[in-house]
């Protein structure tokens, strides 16, 4: 299947525009294409003609006898538009623009970039950049990014996309340092045309790519990026994302050097999660997670086994696994018996398994143990912490040990990988032996790999289907400003969200009558559209005894008139008081770029002091909503901690999910909708208060 | 000053007992001593005599013409006792016993080890092991642990002590891989005599050691270890500890008696913290923390600055710093002006600072920026993320860049170190250039170094003085079993802990009379020593209206007699109900090996659901207790969250500190003492309930 980026990322021929013996960059690109062994034709272009790098130079692109698939443009900023016009008019379908001096330098640069974009659109040209460092395509042997000799990419199955050229370099350096194989490494620069999402989409379909690693400062085009993540997920490939700008300081820093606002990180995070992305916070974790998946594929359960030849390492593994919430199941009795049969008497058969120093004399003991452990039905992934090959990788003993281990890992029913005790430099000798055997050694040391294991387990468990069903159709009275509580209550009730009974009355006397009807103490609230904080305005009285209602209602009206003389008061809402329960806060915020995010939390101190809130992107399934509720630190209260009855979680999940559907149906004019509190008492779930605010203020 | 371990760890001459050309280990030890260039005499010993490694072999230790300082014993387990007897009788003052087959293999081995210990004690011999891998002393050039040629230790200032030989090897390998300098690396093995604490004490006094890294599975001798940590702290050296068994301890803690808040690991953790140790959970963090300190020394404030030449790296740094709670202060206006004067126009002067790609053309721009940043009074430590020297470490440009940076770091008023963007292998070329300049490059990549920065800042902030003053003297009525609440109340009141008023009465009628005296609703509790859960036994009634007291009191007595027929009831305690406030839980558990640990937490859901408890080792200062209270997640409640008045924190700190002093004064028979709740309402602090349990059950 053809992809829009085919010519860009897998060109059959390349024009290097700006080639010159006097340009350092020209030498480096020329060397890079030579080093990687690019099989296509490379045409050098420079208006000055002559020769460069010992080859003839064409004065312009139309002078090239064929139409190249791709132009690599590295002329000074002032010459870019002319050069690109030349490229476009020659019918070249794709270009990489290395030149900087565009949107990243301010308003004048943005205008220049706009001109360039117009040109590209007019000619239907695919453009990477400007201000893009270029890319490497390892399987296709295309290197449009400098390399020094001896610093080649290790070809492998991780596709890397980054907005920052410096970070692309850092990722490639880390990968080379630890022999991590990459399929592609693409720098998108200013993203005038091609964005990280486009490249992720390309990699999702690329047969050489098994896992995708993304560095992003901002998402220019959220829908494309999310669609690409879903395509990758559907292809069984995780997209691991290092998205910066989470902190206030980083948001400020990003604004300084990219000129773009990064958006609300909690919103982005919810959408990335829903689209199946795995979020990390360091370059090491980015590659460790992708590298682990490249070797294990999906980890289909949560049973982790660790094998070592050191008791101390077993202890570290057990502690770290517990820190990261990883389960290390007991082996089945049959496995334990078989292990006891091959291990020395003084060994203790348990998980993590200390194969003992006997593995330093019997070269196949470790492999036999690994075969038994990975055959255990409780084990979903096995980490073999084994470094003997560091010491004797090419001796007879080392060869047998390593070969038997690799054979055992390959034949293992559950994924098995080899991990170093710590992150560690590989000698050329060790590297060569491992490469020859294609041994599944992963990057990171036990410490970092355990974190990556947890991430891949969570990724596999995460609901991968999109929510089915269509949101309800909603007729809206007046989607403007801040609705009164009464309008909000009607909206909720119409769409199946239970609301505490209430009667709107016009006078204190009518309030007293309404209260008598309900019996027992009541809540009295002023009804006023546009009044943002009715409590602060004195417009709320709770637990009012029936006999006091008339007087209190009059006082409420007086106070509001006094404190908010401009407020339009449409009456009073009288509701019965409800028994104590668990108070939830449920809200939806619509982000104009990303969409709706549902936030759930427990009220009171839980939100005020602990910020105990979970967010999910909408649409969301019952399953996702349930996971969010159970992911709250306060979740034990829902399960009936403190001796209280547990609440009817199914009923809560149902109401919250329906609330999300309703919010989504309210359309693009919605700013926020909130129920606070949603009171849950046993199996009763009821909205006690609600607010809706629209984007259009009036 | 002489240290007990001088002869062991810095011997002037060595007898290698068990030397033989047929022993692989003998070859390896012989090689190791040669490779490191041990300057003293090495005497080979084997009952068979002859020669080994081309040198004459003495049949026994007394045959050696001098008395060696140290014997390295590597004979088979069966021959150890005889060999050690020979060593001891020759007057050798210290020995390393490599041989295994002792306490680590079970009861018979333990008996053999006991014999060996008797021998050592009799001859006042210092023994490392048995089952100890040996050690390396880099400054003294002693290697009693195998090395392969080309795998020498990098000499430096981190002293390493480990109980596990395998972990010692892993630490040494990691250090060598990343060019981290070690002073010592000592494996203590079975710790028949010399423990990790003894070695830490030695390193605390060693002039070549600046930071100490410890791996421990168990502490044989807590007081010695803690004393050694304090000695290190007094010498200005951090002790970084990777203590495993946290998760196992957590499991044990889960089984522990309910109401006991302190698990084993929590006890150890509290004492390690009090003694000035820094706890980590991976080998990488162990070395990264020690290595950072070895280069920075103490970090005297919390102001972090980061400099890079990449906007993307600035973003990652800002996010990670926020994740780890690190503060990146703004630069002073004067600093900002000076930076703006040297940086290109398009640079944004802020922290983290992007020096920009201009640093790739001007070799001294980075150094000049570093000098300005480290001179800023808001900056307490600067991380320079700079990898240009990877690309051109020995060209003219690279040399100038690197030299100017190193000069700037050396002259910097605040500590400044160089960090890679990610953990990364160093080429031999890069390594040699850096080593020549003694450039302060630290291990770990930005990701790990930021964590280490946070640890060192916390370490410096941590109160380092020992609590002054002596605990009160306490006369105890009967330190056995479980005291009645009345006895507990008296103890607290006598020692200045405010207790809610209460009257002990013998009958329901008397209870009613007492309640009338208090006025308002009361609490009624059965008084019974030995009754562990008086609420569960129905022995408590709260909020009883004065008129109901007689009836309720009778019911309480009846219920307890029915539910706990064996309980000895000594009457009823009547107390006035108190207004709501913040309920604290304050308890002390005495661990027989380590001592008393004070636990503070907020009651109710905070302890039940969130396990929001902080622990401090006793004795503790007001400052430490205050830090523990403010470290609670619920601390905002103490500061007056939710619109309530803040509590009088000084008064709370004072009562809790006094409670700790009292607990300590109760002596070694104490099991636990607890006040739950300690109610705090504004400036009133009062114990509403208390319990004391003694170790001796009856």
Fill in the DSSP letter of residue B550.
H
Please indicate whether, in this complex, the C-beta atoms of B608 and A641 are within 8 angstroms of each other: yes
Interface test with A, best of B253, B312, B536 (most A CBs within 10 A): B312
Which residues in chain B are closer than 8 Å to A390, comparing Cβ atoms? 173
SS3 A416: strand
- Calculate mean pLDDT across residues B41-52: 96
Question: Residue A640: pLDDT above 80?
Answer: no
Please indicate whether, in this complex, the C-beta atoms of B318 and A247 are within 8 angstroms of each other: yes
- What is the reported pLDDT for B566? 86
CA B593 – CA B559 distance, rounded (Å): 41
- What is the reported pLDDT for B644? 63
Interface test with A, best of B177, B319, B427 (most A CBs within 10 A): B319
- Calculate mean pLDDT across residues A529-543: 87
Q: Give the number of A-B residue pairs with CB atoms closer than 8 Å.
A: 221
- Is residue A168 very low, low, confident or very high in pLDDT (cuts 50, 70, 90)? very high
Structure-block tokens of residue B563: 């539910």
- Among the partner-chain residues A173, A281, A310, the one whose CB lies closest to the CB of B166 is A310
- Is residue B105 very low, low, confident or very high in pLDDT (cuts 50, 70, 90)? confident
- Among the partner-chain residues B246, B323, B348, the one whose CB lies closest to the CB of A256 is B348
- When mean pLDDT is compared across A78-82, A402-406, B464-468, the lowest value belongs to B464-468
- Is residue B146 very low, low, confident or very high in pLDDT (cuts 50, 70, 90)? confident
Specify the higher pLDDT residue, B593 or B576. Answer: B576
Count CA atoms closer than 13 A to B167's CA, side-chain side: 31
Question: Residue B248: pLDDT above 80?
Answer: no
- Calculate mean pLDDT across residues B543-560: 93
Mean of all residue pLDDT scores within chain A: 91
Please indicate whether, in this complex, the C-beta atoms of A256 and B311 are within 8 angstroms of each other: yes
- When mean pLDDT is compared across A146-160, B282-296, B388-402, the lowest value belongs to B388-402
- Calculate mean pLDDT across residues B169-173: 92
- Calculate mean pLDDT across residues B464-490: 79
Question: Residue A238: pLDDT above 80?
Answer: yes
Interface test with B, best of A251, A279, A312 (most B CBs within 10 A): A312
Give residues with Cβ within 8 angstroms of A134, minimum separation 6: A29, A72, A96, A98, A128, A144, A145, A187
Question: Residue B468: pLDDT above 70?
Answer: no
- When mean pLDDT is compared across A49-53, A297-301, A433-437, the lowest value belongs to A433-437
* Stated pTM of the model: 0.93
Structure-block tokens of residue B356: 């920009």
B269 near B241, Cβ under 8 Å?
no
- Is residue B260 very low, low, confident or very high in pLDDT (cuts 50, 70, 90)? very low
- Calculate mean pLDDT across residues A446-452: 96
Runs of H (alpha helix) within A579-634: 605-608, 622-630
- Among the partner-chain residues B425, B445, B609, the one whose CB lies closest to the CB of A284 is B445
- Closest residue in B to A385 (Cα–Cα): B170
Question: Residue B203: pLDDT above 50?
Answer: yes
- What is the reported pLDDT for A665? 93
In DSSP notation, B630-692 reads HTSTTHHHHTTGGGPPPP-HHHHHHHHHHHHHHHHHT-TTEEEEEEEEEEEETTEEEE--EEE
Is residue A386 packed enough to be buried (19+ CB in 10 Å), middle (13-18) or exposed (0-12)? Answer: buried
Which residues in chain A are closer than 8 Å to B284, comparing Cβ atoms? 422-423, 445, 447
Distances (CA, A) of A208 to A8, A138, A203, A205: 17, 9, 8, 9
C-alpha R_g of chain A: 31
The ipTM value here is 0.92
- The phi-psi region of residue A301 (left if phi > 0; otherwise alpha if psi is between -120 and 50; otherwise beta) is beta
CA B390 – CA A520 distance, rounded (Å): 78
- What is the reported pLDDT for B263? 45
Distance from the B2 Cα atom to the nearest Cα atom in chain A, whole angstroms? 33
- Is residue B256 very low, low, confident or very high in pLDDT (cuts 50, 70, 90)? very low
- What is the reported pLDDT for B646? 80
- Calculate mean pLDDT across residues B113-132: 97
Question: Residue B259: pLDDT above 50?
Answer: no
SS3 B206: coil
- Calculate mean pLDDT across residues A219-240: 96
A363 near A389, Cβ under 8 Å?
no
Please indicate whether, in this complex, the C-beta atoms of B424 and A174 are within 8 angstroms of each other: yes
Which residues in chain A are closer than 8 Å to B282, comparing Cβ atoms? 316, 320, 422, 445-447
- Is residue B257 very low, low, confident or very high in pLDDT (cuts 50, 70, 90)? very low
Specify the higher pLDDT residue, A611 or A660. Answer: A660
- What is the reported pLDDT for B683? 86
CA B544 – CA B193 distance, rounded (Å): 63
Question: Residue B350: pLDDT above 80?
Answer: yes
- Among the partner-chain residues A167, A256, A310, the one whose CB lies closest to the CB of B164 is A310
Distance from the A426 Cα atom to the nearest Cα atom in chain B, whole angstroms? 8
Fill in the DSSP letter of residue B303.
B
CA B21 – CA B53 distance, rounded (Å): 6
Count CA atoms closer than 13 A to B447's CA, side-chain side: 17
In DSSP notation, A74-115 reads -S-HHHHHHHHHHHHHTT--EEEE----SGGG-HHHHHHHHH
- Is residue A431 very low, low, confident or very high in pLDDT (cuts 50, 70, 90)? confident
- Is residue B252 very low, low, confident or very high in pLDDT (cuts 50, 70, 90)? very low
Cis amide leading into B196 (omega within 30): no
- Is residue B643 very low, low, confident or very high in pLDDT (cuts 50, 70, 90)? low
Which residues in chain B are closer than 8 Å to A387, comparing Cβ atoms? 170, 173
- Calculate mean pLDDT across residues B591-600: 92
- Is residue A4 very low, low, confident or very high in pLDDT (cuts 50, 70, 90)? very high
Mean of all residue pLDDT scores within chain B: 90
- When mean pLDDT is compared across A7-11, A85-89, B99-103, B299-303, the lowest value belongs to B99-103
Question: Residue B254: pLDDT above 60?
Answer: no
- Is residue B261 very low, low, confident or very high in pLDDT (cuts 50, 70, 90)? very low
- Is residue A105 very low, low, confident or very high in pLDDT (cuts 50, 70, 90)? confident
CA A263 – CA A261 distance, rounded (Å): 6
Interface test with A, best of B132, B288, B315, B608 (most A CBs within 10 A): B315
- Among the partner-chain residues A173, A215, A248, the one whose CB lies closest to the CB of B312 is A215
- Calculate mean pLDDT across residues A574-586: 92
- Calculate mean pLDDT across residues B590-610: 86
Residues facing A161 on adjacent strands: A186, A214
- Calculate mean pLDDT across residues A158-185: 94
Which residues in chain B are closer than 8 Å to A630, comparing Cβ atoms? none
- What is the reported pLDDT for A600? 94
């Amino acid at each position: 299947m053809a992809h829009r980026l085919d010519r860009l990322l897998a060109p059959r021929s390349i024009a290097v525009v700006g080639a010159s013996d006097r340009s350092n960059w020209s030498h480096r690109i020329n060397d890079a294409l030579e080093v990687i062994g690019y099989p296509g034709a490379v045409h050098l272009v420079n208006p000055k003609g002559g020769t460069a790098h010992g080859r003839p130079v064409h004065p312009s692109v139309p002078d090239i006898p064929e139409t190249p698939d791709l132009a690599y443009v590295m002329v000074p900023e002032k010459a870019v538009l002319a050069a690109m016009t030349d490229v476009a008019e020659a019918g070249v379908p794709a270009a990489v623009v290395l030149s900087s001096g565009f949107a990243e330098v301010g308003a004048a640069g943005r205008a220049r970039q706009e001109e360039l974009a117009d040109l590209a659109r007019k000619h239907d040209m695919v453009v990477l950049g400007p201000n893009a460092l270029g890319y490497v395509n390892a399987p296709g042997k295309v290197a449009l990014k400098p390399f020094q000799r001896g610093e080649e990419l290790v070809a492998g199955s991780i596709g890397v996309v980054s907005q920052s050229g410096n970070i692309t370099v850092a990722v490639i350096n880390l990968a080379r340092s630890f022999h991590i194989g990459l399929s592609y490494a693409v720098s998108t620069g200013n993203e005038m045309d091609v964005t990280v999402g486009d490249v992720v989409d390309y990699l999702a379909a690329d047969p050489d790519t098994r896992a995708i690693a993304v560095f992003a400062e901002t998402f220019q085009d959220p829908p494309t990026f999310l669609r690409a993540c879903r395509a990758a997920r559907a292809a069984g490939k995780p997209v691991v994302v290092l998205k910066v700008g989470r902190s206030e300081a980083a948001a400020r820093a990003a604004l300084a050097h990219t000129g773009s606002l990064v958006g609300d990180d909690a919103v982005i995070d919810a959408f990335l999660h829903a689209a199946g992305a795995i979020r990390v916070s360091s370059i090491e974790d980015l590659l460790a997670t992708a590298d682990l998946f490249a070797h294990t594929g999906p980890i289909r359960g949560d049973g982790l086994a660790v094998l070592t030849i050191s008791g101390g390492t077993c202890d570290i593994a057990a502690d770290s696994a517990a820190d990261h919430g990883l389960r290390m199941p007991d082996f089945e009795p049959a496995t334990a018996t078989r292990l006891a049969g091959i291990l020395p008497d003084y060994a203790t058969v348990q998980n993590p398994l200390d194969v003992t120093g006997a593995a330093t004399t019997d070269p196949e003991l470790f492999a036999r143990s690994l075969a038994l452990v990975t055959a255990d039905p409780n084990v979903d992934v096995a980490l073999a912490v084994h470094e003997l090959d560091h010491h004797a990788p090419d001796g007879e003993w080392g060869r047998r040990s390593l070969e038997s281990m690799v054979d055992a890992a390959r034949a293992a029913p559950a994924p098995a990988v080899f991990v170093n005790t710590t992150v560690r430099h590989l000698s050329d000798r060790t590297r060569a032996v491992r490469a020859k055997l294609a041994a599944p050694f992963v990057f990171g040391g036990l410490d970092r790999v355990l974190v990556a294991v947890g991430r891949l387990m969570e990724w596999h468990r995460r609901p991968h289907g999109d929510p089915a069903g269509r949101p309800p159709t909603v007729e809206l009275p007046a989607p403007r400003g801040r609705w009164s509580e009464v309008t909000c209550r009607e909206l909720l009730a119409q769409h199946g969200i239970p609301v505490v009974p209430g009667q709107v009355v016009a006078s204190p006397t009518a309030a007293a009558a309404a209260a008598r009807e309900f019996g027992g103490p009541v809540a009295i609230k002023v009804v006023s559209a546009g009044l943002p904080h009715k409590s602060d305005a004195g417009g709320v009285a709770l637990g009012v005894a029936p006999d006091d209602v008339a007087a209190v209602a009059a006082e409420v009206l007086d106070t509001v008139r006094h404190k908010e003389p401009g407020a339009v008061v449409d009456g009073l809402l009288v509701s019965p008081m409800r028994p104590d329960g668990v108070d939830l806060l449920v809200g939806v915020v619509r982000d104009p770029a990303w969409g709706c995010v549902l936030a759930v939390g427990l009220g009171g101190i839980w939100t005020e002091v602990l910020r105990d809130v979970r967010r999910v992107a909408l649409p969301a399934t019952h399953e996702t909503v349930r996971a969010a509720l159970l992911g709250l630190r306060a979740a034990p209260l829902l399960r009936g901690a403190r001796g209280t009855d547990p609440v009817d979680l199914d009923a809560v999940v149902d109401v919250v999910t329906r609330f999300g559907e309703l919010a989504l149906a309210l359309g693009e004019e919605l700013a926020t909708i909130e129920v606070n509190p949603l009171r849950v008492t046993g199996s009763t779930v009821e909205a006690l208060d609600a607010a809706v605010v629209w984007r259009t203020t009036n």
